[in-house]
Amino acid sequence: MADRFKDKVVVVTGAGTGIGAATARRFAAEGAAVVCADINEAAAQAICAEISAAGGRAAPCCVDIRTPAEVDAMIALTRSRFGPLNAIINNAGMGAQKDFLDTPLDMLRAMLEINVIGTFLCAQAAAREMAANGGGAIVNFSSHSGFLGSSGRAAYAAAKSGIIGMTRVMAVDLAKHNVRVNAIAPGPIDVPRSRKQHVGERREAWQLAVPMGRYGQPDEVAGVALFLASDDASYVNGQTISVDGGFTAAGLRVKDLRVL
Residue ranges binding ligand NAD (CB under 6 A): 13-14, 16-20, 38-40, 43, 63-66, 91-95, 114, 118, 141, 143, 186, 188-189, 191, 193-194
CB 51 within 8 A of CB 20: no
Q: Whose Cβ is closer to ligand NAD: residue 43's or residue 154's?
A: 43
Q: How far is the CB of 70 from ligand NAD (least distance, A)?
A: 8
| 3-class secondary structure, 47 | helix
Phi, psi of 12 (to 5 degrees): -120, 120
Q: How far is the CB of 151 from ligand NAD (least distance, A)?
A: 15
Using CA atoms, how far residue 222 sits from 69, 178, 201, in Å, is: 28, 23, 28
Q: Whose Cβ is closer to ligand NAD: residue 94's or residue 108's?
A: 94
Identify the H or E element spanning 164: helix 154-174
| Torsional class of 64: left (φ above 0), alpha (ψ -120 to 50), beta (otherwise) | beta
Identify the H or E element spanning 34: strand 33-38
| 156 a catalytic residue | yes
Q: How far is the CB of 27 from ligand NAD (least distance, A)?
A: 15
Q: Catalytic one among 120, 156, 215, 247?
A: 156
Dist CA 57 CA 77 (whole Å)? 14
Q: Whose Cβ is closer to ligand NAD: residue 24's or residue 130's?
A: 24
Dist CA 67 CA 131 (whole Å)? 22
Dist CA 209 CA 231 (whole Å)? 34
Q: How far is the CB of 61 from ligand NAD (least distance, A)?
A: 9
| Contacts of 128 by beta carbon, 8 Å cutoff, 6+ apart | none
Q: How far is the CB of 67 from ligand NAD (least distance, A)?
A: 8
Q: Whose Cβ is closer to ligand NAD: residue 14's or residue 136's?
A: 14
Dist CA 119 CA 112 (whole Å)? 10
Residues designated catalytic: 156
